[in-house]
Amino acid sequence: MDPLKAQLEILRARLQKIDARYQTEPLPETRALPDGVEVRTEDGTHWEIDRHWPAHHRHGTADVGALSELPQDLLAALVNEEGVTVPPERWAFLDTETSGLSGGSGAFAFLVGVGGITANGFVLKQFFMRDHGEEPSMLKALSAYLDQFDLLVTYNGRSFDQPLLETRYRLLRIREPFLRLKHVDLLYSARRLWRLALESCRLQELEQRILGVERHGDVDGQFIPNLYFEYLRTGNFAPLRPVISHNAVDILSLACLTAIVPVAFREPQRLTSGAEMVALARWFRNEGRAEDALMLMRQALKRTLQEPLLYETLWHVADMERKLERHDAAVAVWTELSTIRNPWQAKALERLAIHYERREKNLAMAFEMTLAAQVIEDSEALQKRATRLAKKASGPKSGRLL
């Protein structure tokens, strides 16, 4: 026999022995699916995993048992609807793990987690598809499970998770479950509250900084799609185990943060961080709640603020006082800004010049403020103002009849 053919026969025999061994021996535990059950629907099968955190469990500084005691109208301020009352046990906390972070019709969710609040703690059901063919079954089961909820809570779900799932439902011609659910995307409110206080408003950042949760053995989200495709190729579930845990902790953290964020919007007086106060005050201002914004900003000024934020906040306080026709209050803040070197000093001097010219009719003071502003940050507008004021000040004065 040809030596090469002989070697191939030997290799083939060895491979057959290996195949036979794995056909008769159970897979090692690390390769098996996590504890769960195979669920059969009219569209096939998929895998479901249930998890429960008891009421006495603490997630960082958060008390899981307290979630069931949250008021029914807690999320009304975030939904932007009057009279929204949904009991906490009807809130669904949803997060997905997907085949790609960019979305689009080609991306799909291979894992969908839905958390819920109960009197006995926090429960989580995770829907997992073991291969592409299980997607219809998984989505049908997800729809049925969401029937018990009236309000959806996500983190960036309005831009990512929900549109991605809606696309998959449409492609598979399955009725999607989201039309009747009110949706609170906590990301937007979290950004309003913490974007000035924290470098990032990623969920894991808030989890660590606000809840005090430290993850161990977590998986970076950017690697999750590749881990799933590796599982499809090899059948080895071991690398996906951290993904199941990652999704679970994300959802529990989302629920705990949902208990914190709305309180700031409902009861801003409970805030203690100056940066949080300023951030929320800006949102109040944009919503037309000037008095609430001013109250918060003035409280923030009594706290410790970094200098750039301090001066910017003073500027916004003065501007809102001016718009509310409280000119003396505005002048007091502009004067404070004008005496210290800061990015708003020249603008404050210009505002003072406008005030003295138009309201006080004090051309000399207006001219002095304009010149001071030019020294710091000259502009064409200031040059025109200085020329006009000089001309008005040197012009003939009307006579007075005795």
Rg (CA), the chain: 31
Rounded to whole angstroms, the Cα distance separating 151 from 115 reads 12
3 state DSSP class of 104? coil
Please tell me the distance from the alpha carbon of residue 302 to that of residue 249, in angstroms, as a whole number.
Answer: 37
Answer yes or no: are the C-beta atoms of 44 and 233 closer than 8 Å: no
Nearest to 132 by CA among 102, 168, 177: 168
- Asked, colleague to colleague, whether 29-265 and 268-393 share their fold, the answer is no
The span from the CA of 252 to the CA of 221, in Å, is 17
Task: Give the side-chain half-sphere CA count within 13 A for 229.
Answer: 9
pLDDT of amino acid 78 = 81
Q: Give the tokens for residue 73.
A: 């109208």
CATH for 29-265 is: 3.30.420.10
For residues 49 and 37, give the distance between their C-alpha atoms in angstroms, rounded to a whole number: 7
CB-CB contact of 31 with 235 (8 Å): yes
Structure tokens at 68: 């069931």
Q: How far is CA 26 from CA 4, 23, 38, in A?
A: 35, 8, 18
Report which residue type is found at 205: E
Cβ pair 264, 276 in contact under 8 A: yes
* Side chain identity, residue 165: L
User: Which one, of 202, 20, 49, lies nearest residue 126 by Cα?
Assistant: 49
Angstrom distances, CA of residue 272 to CA of 165, 323, 346: 39, 27, 31
Upper half-sphere CA count for residue 324 (Cβ side, 13 Å): 19
Within 8 A by CB and 6+ apart from 394, the residues are: none
Domain 268-393 has CATH 1.25.40.10: yes
Return the pLDDT at 1.
56
| Alpha carbon distance 35, 170 (integer Å) | 31
Per-residue pLDDT of the chain (402 residues; tens, 9 = 90+): 566 566 667 667 665 665 555 454 444 445 678 899 999 999 999 999 999 999 999 999 999 999 999 999 888 878 765 567 899 999 999 999 999 866 556 799 999 999 999 999 999 999 999 999 999 999 999 999 999 999 999 999 999 999 999 999 999 999 999 999 999 999 999 998 998 888 889 999 999 989 999 888 899 888 999 999 999 999 999 999 999 999 999 999 999 999 998 888 888 888 888 999 999 999 889 888 899 999 999 999 999 999 999 999 999 999 999 999 999 999 999 999 999 999 999 999 999 999 999 999 999 999 999 999 999 999 999 999 999 999 887 866 554 444
Total-model pTM: 0.78
DSSP 34: P
Q: Which residues of 218-240 are buried (b: 16+ CB within 10 A; e: fewer)?
A: ebebeebbebbeebeeeeebebb
Domain locations in the chain?
Answer: 29-265, 268-393
What residue type is 290 in one-letter code?
A
